[in-house]
Amino acid sequence: MAGGQGRVLELAVLGSLHETPLHGYELRKRLNALLGMFRAFSYGSLYPCLRSLLARGLIAEEQPAPTAIVGGRSKIVYKLTAEGKERLQELLTQAGPAAWEDESFGVHFAFFRHTEAEVRLRILEGRRSRLEERLDAVRTALARTAERLDSYTLELQRHGLESVEREVRWLNELIATERRASSEERPERDTTSTDE
Amino acid sequence: MAGGQGRVLELAVLGSLHETPLHGYELRKRLNALLGMFRAFSYGSLYPCLRSLLARGLIAEEQPAPTAIVGGRSKIVYKLTAEGKERLQELLTQAGPAAWEDESFGVHFAFFRHTEAEVRLRILEGRRSRLEERLDAVRTALARTAERLDSYTLELQRHGLESVEREVRWLNELIATERRASSEERPERDTTSTDE
DNA sequence: TCGGGATGTATCGGCTCGATACATCGACGC
DNA sequence: GCGTCGATGTATCGAGCCGATACATCCCGA
């Protein structure tokens, strides 16, 4: 009860408000532009989320400068509080399944510039294993039933596999880039030696 | 109330049972293998759906052959009724947004072999316009804000765009194949002339 | 001046998922 | 024989989320 909502939307809102204070309508527009192809948040979840964050003191209403008020426009601008910034950092530090599942990975990735390098790497690797798991499952299932399937089903499977394989390659590149960047940052450290 | 559920799961269940009678557990396994990369149905929606279909007379319990009963195993096998087959045909005929949105397109495509050629074409084209709409929206939003974005956000947008563009190309090929097949089937008909 | 489209806040019904509970079965070691 | 572990199997519950909808204001052009 009381608008608990999942951590994904919470992170998305907190992360957006970290850049600049916003009101609901604009917040939703930015979020859906930011995530573009991956998700689309709706008011039905956004407003309860804002209410919950407000109640928990993670965001606060910001009254506009008195000079700007003319007709008493009812626009509620929210800004991040100190507690909200703390909570955001906490969410950005978490590198678990909650960060690399389908629904949440995009949001976490979108705020990677506020995330520590080590956490970034673990999320990218977690995402990759998740996808490889799925590839294995589908490939074995496909091997057992391929001859029984019609051409449409087969084509669907083929296209799905290819899409996920493509995403894995994308992740590989990102991981390589992250590794390169982090080894350049402190070249003396060599714990994993040359495992790649 | 009473387990109405969306039409997607209903179609998936009806379509699967059309091949062969199944019980819940096996049904879910097949569904998730069939859709593989796209969705994963859970028991929390499957069982209410089965109950609803049962109540509406679209499926029926099939008692196993008496000779096979040994310990009275509690396995509930469902089969499609005549009304269920009718309903399935009805669902397969619908070519609207409900067929080409993200959540439903995969399921509709998976049962294309039971779908009329004309409906197939309209669903594929609907899906394509849907994706192109989204591409336009993201591309214009990107053009307006590209210089303000950090490299991670930019990379996310780029990857998202590329994935969707890839899917559009895939749809283009499928549409071309469908057109070719349908024009070979009845070569005298030439309403759209040579628009391609 | 009138209407339509963008802006803006808000709620409700209903669908869906993840977690969980509970029970049986077959295979394995010992 | 016996415990137990993982797969099979049915089922529910809390909670989150979406689509549709309602309502109000603002701005702009015909």
Residue B107 contacts A, CB cutoff 8 Å: no
Cα distances (angstroms) measured from residue B162 to each of A73, A175, A193, B76: 41, 19, 34, 45
* Percent of chain B surpassing pLDDT 70: 85
Is-contact B34 B18, C-beta < 8 A?
Answer: no
> Which CATH number applies to B7-65+76-104: 3.40.50.300, 2.40.110.10, 1.10.10.10, 3.20.190.10?
1.10.10.10
| Per-residue model confidence as pLDDT tens digits over A12-68 | 999 999 989 999 899 999 998 888 778 889 999 999 999 999 999 999 998 765 444
CATH architecture entry for A7-66+75-97: Orthogonal Bundle (1.10)
**Across the interface, which of A109, A134, A160 has its CB nearest the CB of B152?**
A109
Cα distances (angstroms) measured from residue B31 to each of A4, B27, B84: 31, 6, 18
Test A160 with B110 for CB contact under 8 angstroms.
no
Classify B61 as helix, strand or coil: strand
Nearest nucleotide (CA of B71 to C1') = C24
Name the residue ranges covered by the structural domains of chain A: 7-66+75-97, 116-185
- Indicate the residue type of A175: I
pLDDT at residue A152 is higher than 80: yes
Q: Which residue of A has its CA nearest to B170?
A: A159
Is-contact B78 B17, C-beta < 8 A?
Answer: yes
Residue B150 contacts A, CB cutoff 8 Å: yes
Cα distance from A156 to chain B (closest Cα, Å)? 7
Structure-token pair, residue B78: 């469902």
- For tokens 């609901």, name the residue: A24
Helices (H) and strands (E) in chain B, counts: 8, 3
Cα distance from B135 to chain A (closest Cα, Å)? 8
Average pLDDT, chain B: 85
